[in-house]
Structure 1
């Protein structure tokens, strides 16, 4: 561990069965990119009525679709990022991404005419943001190569086969619609089977092709003859890390992880970092605050009831003391917990993220009576 003095360090690690906690007062924020010669900049919108009227009709419709949501809820805010027209390079998009780095967003949708180069830029940006404990997730239409990342939703739809009545769409033109649906799902539900009632046709796939697409990390739409819906709420992650879980490929589980990340980052940085003496008592106050929200998440359907915990990370604290030359062999566990640790705070916490009901097996038995 480095002993150099630099920016205060905040390290958050997720393990397979021990997740940290969250305290997110609001969720359901969408970032939508459009190109237009007018109204350039960032527009925080809480209703479709606030969409800038000087934008082109197609751009207004693209932003409007982000507000639609599903039968499970709608996003509470749409942040429209209007960038300069032209797709010759990625300069305008890069500038737009910088403009939202101070925003709190859950899902972002690229411009409806997004280029392959811009998709690559957005993938790189999202991965870097998530590595720094921000929580944006990209709805990427028809990626050229599988992103294989829990922060990127690979939305696969054949251009021109998606229709709402007589109007057909490319996958990119419908990205804002998918981002709005995902942002509007309550934290206790998943997006699986969320309906899009206006959609009358989707990409034709056999059942085997649907399964193959989902297993390859793609979010697809299906139509059961009555309504179009999301087949399964999955992200593009297919290569599970050694210390990870296959559940990390589910959007609902990652949303829970992101809520946890958001809480730890904003609460520690905003309420604790630099504000308190690094004493055992103050560490206990932080632990109590984290545990309180863990229990809130249990009631909200994010974490399994009764399994949440938070405590000083004894192993990490012991290793830090050893690195400082402290003889710990004769110290009790409580003495190690109460030991001074400079500016470092070592906490471990966890709980079990809860999935939604998505797979069913029901057996119906009938009583057969034989006549004598």
Structure 2
């Protein structure tokens, strides 16, 4: 006889998956950014949870770092988790980026940036992201500067010489609020020049705040007045660089192509894995299924065939809800019991699988293991156009 937890829990699973499906686009536009900043004059680490500019403290953060946080908030992420490290000139400092990463490895967030990091810290952060995704199956992603990581979890932002007008500049007093980059004054307006590393804060905010019903390709950065120009931008994009460009068409500075740093493709990771939108969709589906399984199934539901099929049915409902903007509505998006894994498990347990029917293999008792397999097709946004006219 089912226990009370099963009677109460199983309907919740279906409701939860339906809710996750119907809110997928809204939720995907509210990602969390983790930001690491050098800020402290002593050997300490502080952290701040910032949802909007009113959460930025009046003291404790340098004007330069406040500027970077505000740049991130322009992308409207759900929140920014700021962790501050000692400045480079703090004598005998022991607190490092590694200490912050130990904290971040145990909490939930989506994108990370380190706009004041050294080149070595950027490299270490990229390596950590690869490890967390490949070995621990986390869905973390990073925006780094000039780091050809060749990985779907790392965006390699490479545009420098980013010129932005300082909105706080007082032309009459000829003074402006302290900012991050170098400045110059032209026609009574102060222009701030940011490096690629500094502007990873802005890019991370955009990617965290962008919903899955569109791509970041051609996303307009209205605050940017000009950026460096490229002789062959297509070749650079093909090398896995995310770049800003201005077509000089009056429409301003935009993201050229929303790609990550992946450039080596395999049968498991084809060229579609270089698209940020596709990886965001994969990560969202992974998190939704895994979180629901942990919340409603682990330790609460017996692992027999009927309960496995109920879980599968709930997942299929979820797939139906996200078809169109996340999954290809015309594709056969499926999940079922992994019969090969079931057969392998039974063989290891000493069963003569040749004498078992297909249904007996599907129903074979797998202890505490739930082994499923499926097929998904994620949908991309329109980015390339080819028209052949015949006259």
Bin the TM-score by the shorter chain: 0.7 to 0.9
Determine which of 304, 311, 336 is the counterpart of 1:279: 304
Alpha-carbon distance in 1 for matches of 2:229, 2:104: 36
- Please say which of residues 196-205 and 268-277 is displaced more in the overlay: 268-277
Q: Does 1:52 align with 2:57?
A: yes
Match of 2:10 in 1: none
1:229 CA displacement:
0.4
Query: Cα deviation per residue 1:41-71 (whole Å; 9 max; x = unaligned)?
Result: 22222112101221111111101111112xx
Match of 2:241 in 1: 218
Mapped contact 2:85–2:95 kept (Cα < 8 A): no
Q: Does 1:107 align with 2:111?
A: yes
Alpha-carbon distance in 2 for matches of 1:354, 1:116: 35
Alpha-carbon distance in 2 for matches of 1:362, 1:119: 42
After TM superposition, list the pairs within 5 Å mapping 1:75-224 onto structure 2: 75-86=77-88, 91-110=95-114, 112-131=115-134, 132-143=136-147, 146-158=148-160, 161-165=161-165, 166-206=191-231, 209-224=232-247
1:85 CA displacement:
1.9
After TM superposition, list the pairs within 5 Å mapping 1:5-84 onto structure 2: 27-37=30-40, 40-54=45-59, 55-69=61-75, 74-84=76-86
Alpha-carbon distance in 2 for matches of 1:357, 1:90: 48
- Please say which of residues 288-297 and 190-199 is displaced more in the overlay: 288-297
Give the root-mean-square deviation of aligned CA atoms: 2.0
Mapped contact 1:75–1:183 kept (Cα < 8 A): yes
Alpha-carbon distance in 1 for matches of 2:137, 2:125: 17
SS, match of residue 96 in structure 2: helix
Match of 2:183 in 1: none
1:261 CA displacement:
1.9
Alpha-carbon distance in 1 for matches of 2:47, 2:104: 8
SS, match of residue 326 in structure 1: coil
Structure 1 residues 90 and 118: CA distance shift in structure 2, 3 A: farther
Mapped contact 1:192–1:231 kept (Cα < 8 A): yes
TM-score, reference length from structure 1: 0.84
Q: Does 1:332 align with 2:357?
A: yes
Match of 1:17 in 2: none
Structure 1 residues 365 and 242: CA distance shift in structure 2, 3 A: closer
Query: Cα deviation per residue 1:313-359 (whole Å; 9 max; x = unaligned)?
Result: 11110111111111121222112111211121111122211111000
**Aligned residues, how many?**
333
SS, match of residue 321 in structure 1: helix
1:102 CA displacement:
2.8
Query: Cα deviation per residue 1:65-102 (whole Å; 9 max; x = unaligned)?
Result: 11112xxxx31211111222227889421111222223
**Which stretches of structure 1, 4 residues or more, deviate above 3 A after TM superposition?**
22-27, 87-91, 362-366
TM-score, reference length from structure 2: 0.80
